[in-house]
Chain A
Amino acid sequence: SQELEQSPQSLIVQEGKNLTINCTSSKTLYGLYWYKQKYGEGLIFLMMLQKGGEEKSHEKITAKLDEKKQQSSLHITASQPSHAGIYLCGADSPGDKIIFGKGTRLHILP
């Protein structure tokens, strides 16, 4: 079965600094999703990537899918306190469900 590994598990950065979160799949990715979760709340959709080499940006967040479609990265530029939370990568899995990694917990220091 497909598994997603996220790194790092936890990240503490100073406000204003850049950061990158990685997601690696054990199998080829046909649909890769990034979600953000505030502590104790539901998941908020950020971006979806499907094609090898694809890159999407929204405000200060950029997500990329590598050419081999087995790894994705999420990059945040000039981090702000509002970026704090749990970032989850998800992947399309047989049977139409989305499977998730364990998440990366991001803390922003003022």
Chain B
Amino acid sequence: GAGVSQSPRYKVAKRGQDVALRCDPISGHVSLFWYQQALGQGPEFLTYFQNEAQLDKSGLPSDRFFAERPEGSVSTLKIQRTQQEDSAVYLCASSHRDRGRTEAFFGQGTRLTVV
């Protein structure tokens, strides 16, 4: 595709509900990143994939957060038993970072509100 696509753009979840956020990276991009951005803050790293391999998940805040990229393309970030502190914008980015330092391209984000 022309850019990184994320869906849904907005999600309202009741506390305790499970949610799944989708990311379609730019075609051919090997690397995929998930970030969490709280209101008024910079993006915080959550996890990183190279193809289907999850190489770094050090930023996932708890075991309620789970990410996958089974075929090395589309990725899903799942949050189980959502809590109010999970309310944030979730950003996905992709890049050719296997070819050395290069910029990452970001999607529009999914704004999650837990009520």
A interface, CB within 8 angstroms of B: 30-31, 33, 35, 40-45, 48, 50, 88, 92-93, 95-103
Contact = CB atoms under 8 A, between A and B. Distances in A.
B55 interface: yes
Contacts of B58: 95
Interface of chain A, main secondary structure: strand
Contacts, number: 63
B91 A31 contact: no
Categorize the interface residue count of chain B.
20 to 34
A97 B45 contact: yes
B65 interface: no
Contacts of B107: 42
A30 B101 contact: yes
12 contacts: A41-B109, A43-B91, A45-B106, A93-B45, A95-B58, A96-B50, A96-B56, A97-B33, A97-B45, A97-B59, A98-B45, A102-B41
Interface of B: 4, 6, 31, 33, 35, 40-45, 48, 50, 55-56, 58-59, 89, 91, 93, 97, 101-109, 111
Given A97-B33, A98-B33, A45 B42 contact: no
A103 B44 CA distance: 12
Contacts of B108: 41-42
